[in-house]
Amino acid sequence: MSLTVSRRAVLAGAAALPLLRVPGARAASPGTLTFGLSSYPPSVLPWANTGTAAATVKLMIYRGLTGFAPDGSLRAELAESWAPEGTAAWVFKLRDAMFQNGEKVTSADVKWTIEQVVGEKSTAYLRSQMQAIEKVETPDDKTVRFVMKEPAATLPLLFANFHMPMIWRGSDAKSPVGAGPFVIKAQERGVSIDLEASDKYYKPGLPRLKAIRAIAYADENLRVAALQAGDVDLIEYVPWQSMEAISGDSRLALDAVDGPYMYLVFNAGKPPFNDARVRKAVAHAVKRDEVVKAAFFGRGSGLAHLPIPKASEFFNPAYENAWQFDAVLARKLLVDAGHPNGFTCSFLSTAQYGMHKDSAEIVQQNLAAIGIKAELNLPDWATRVTIGNKGQYDLAMMGDAADSNDPDGIAKAIDGSLSSSYTRSFGLKSDKISALIKAGRAEFDLAKRKAIYQELEALVIEEAPIVGLAWRSQGYAMQKRVTGFKNLPGALTFYAGTTFEDAAVG
């Protein structure tokens, strides 16, 4: 038996190969933008925090009383204006806007929304913050008056949060009706979400797109490959290792900002990290440029102070390098704290996310140089969260983004008066820090607020309730034919989804 294939047949077959070329996965209909999400949102319920991918989709379908403009400033959304009444209340005036079902946005909808968020059975992300509202008054359809239990200068900021959109009061719990620029048309669970422009959106001429097709690409390499192959127009969470290649590609554009940050938390409920000198020794032992280089491929920058971004009006350059690398000072602080020969401690991180693991390995080496032997524990993320919440560690790696560029947005990382959480140091209560956070939140005068936060930062630098390591570069990448989409500065990077209303694909 013989197998014979003629040379001519082989050549003919080879010549036909390019003809197999098929169009990409994207539906190439004009005005439709294909967006590569980093994961499929578990849900897009308005007030729950189900991750940043969900938040991006939420910014397509919902709007709050306020929002963030592309330059990061607070702007009007469903409310056209707002003003405090002394420090006891806030009054918001609503604009003429409609929900996606054609119903008018009224003060009754705002009141109903707040009631759902603070309700007894609520698991809303901003429930405790909204509980600062004593009562919601609705003098007329266009006016909402929030009477506060305690002064809150940050209330308009909270209403800009993507976990605080306003919902039509007649909504069914499982199908909330929002007032955003796009409406969900179809969902393929675990795969994609199809959205189309809402004709009820209150901004004239917006959205510019007819539709968005959001496809989940959990694998970051595939997400980049899909962009490079032309399957998608835009992707979020650009992996750091791909940023250079994308920047060098003439067809693509990268929009990255330093936004989220990596930091260390401590178990201050027991020695040795119950001593501020030891925590400060750690702060001065870390070579932050090595963390940025190894964990983030040089995409980001060192963070040697409280994580208030440069984009914030509260950023204070005087403290920019307050925790800078200084091995001599670090060793002296250890000696002063009674650890001349160093010590051994457990160091919690996770193997599930490379940035957590790589950052921890660099810190481990840096600490070894001053005599601290940190033994790494690298469980999966779920285990890491549980261990962190229970305080079963000495030292732990953490990554997060502030809620906004306002210093109050990092209270969740440093306010020990809040309940125990893996996001802040375990058992570390500082009455002074908590009092300053509260004072900052209650102060309506900008200059006075700045002074309070400067005092707070000085205290944090000394007490080191957390230790900043690095700002992470957070990037979106897109085909150059995409216009109008923009990353937002600093901690607001995850609000870039707001600009889908301005986006167009040529």
Partner 1 sequence: MFGYALTRIAVALGLIWAVVTLVFLIIHFVPGDPAELLLSQGGVAPDPAAVTELREKLGLDRPILAQYVSHIGGLLKGDLGSSLLDDHSVAEEIALRLPRTLELIFAASLIAVLFGLPLGTLAALRSGSAIDRVLAGVAGLGLSIPVFVVGTVAILVFAQKLHWVPAGGFVPFSRDPLQHLILLLMPASAIAVGLGAVVFRMTRSSVLEVLQRDYVRAAHAKGLRPSRIVLHHVLRNALIPVVTVLALHMGSLLGGTVLVEFVFNWPGLSGYLVRAVEQRDYPEVVGIVLVISIAFVLINLAVDLLYAVIDPRVRHG
Interaction of residue 221 with partner 1, rule CB under 8 A = yes
Q: Which is nearer to partner 1, 231 or 443 (CB)?
A: 231
Interaction of residue 381 with partner 1, rule CB under 8 A = yes
Among residues 152, 197, 212, 215, the one that binds partner 1 under rule CB under 8 A? 215
Interaction of residue 231 with partner 1, rule CB under 8 A = yes
Among residues 189, 248, 250, 328, the one that binds partner 1 under rule CB under 8 A? 189
Interaction of residue 7 with partner 1, rule CB under 8 A = no
Helical axes 276-285 vs 327-336, angle rounded to 10°: 160
Amino acid code (one letter) for 481: R
- Window 44 to 83, contacts with partner 1 (CB under 8 A): 49-52, 54-55
Among residues 140, 386, 432, 448, the one that binds partner 1 under rule CB under 8 A? 386
Among 94-102, 123-131, 268-276, 484-492, the segment contacting partner 1 (CB under 8 A) = 123-131
CA 342 to chain centre: 36
Interaction of residue 399 with partner 1, rule CB under 8 A = yes
Least distance to partner 1, CB of residue 397, Å: 12
- Find tokens 């004239």 and name the residue: 204
Among residues 9, 11, 88, 191, the one that binds partner 1 under rule CB under 8 A? 191
First to last CA, the chain: 59
Least distance to partner 1, CB of residue 224, Å: 9
Angstrom CA distances, 242 to 247, 259, 474, 476, stand at 9, 18, 12, 11
Give the Cα separation of 488 and 506 in Å (integer).
Answer: 22
- Which run of H or E residues covers position 372? strand 372-377
Among residues 69, 74, 84, 122, the one that binds partner 1 under rule CB under 8 A? 122
Give the Cα separation of 446 and 5 in Å (integer).
Answer: 82
| Concatenated DSSP letters of 129-192 | HHTTEEEEEEEETTEEEEEESS--TTHHHHTTSTT-----TT-BTTB----SSEEEEEEETTTE
- Window 333 to 352, contacts with partner 1 (CB under 8 A): 352
Least distance to partner 1, CB of residue 393, Å: 12
> Do residues 270 and 262 make contact, with C-beta atoms less than 8 angstroms apart?
no
Interaction of residue 225 with partner 1, rule CB under 8 A = yes
Amino acid code (one letter) for 192: S
Least distance to partner 1, CB of residue 50, Å: 5
How many residues lie near partner 1 (CB under 8 A)?
64
Task: Give the number of other CB atoms < 10 A from CB of residue 19.
Answer: 7
Two tokens at 449? Answer: 């607020």
- Window 405 to 434, contacts with partner 1 (CB under 8 A): 412, 418-424
Each residue 20-39 as x (binds partner 1 by CB under 8 A) or -, in order, gives: xxxxxxx-------------
Instruction: Compute the 3-state secondary structure of the chain and give helix, strand, coil in percent, each to the nearest 5.
Output: 35, 25, 45
Interface residues toward partner 1, by CB under 8 A: 1, 3, 17-18, 20-26, 42-43, 49-52, 54-55, 121-123, 125, 127-128, 188-191, 215-219, 221-222, 225-226, 228-231, 352, 379-383, 385-387, 389, 398-401, 412, 418-424
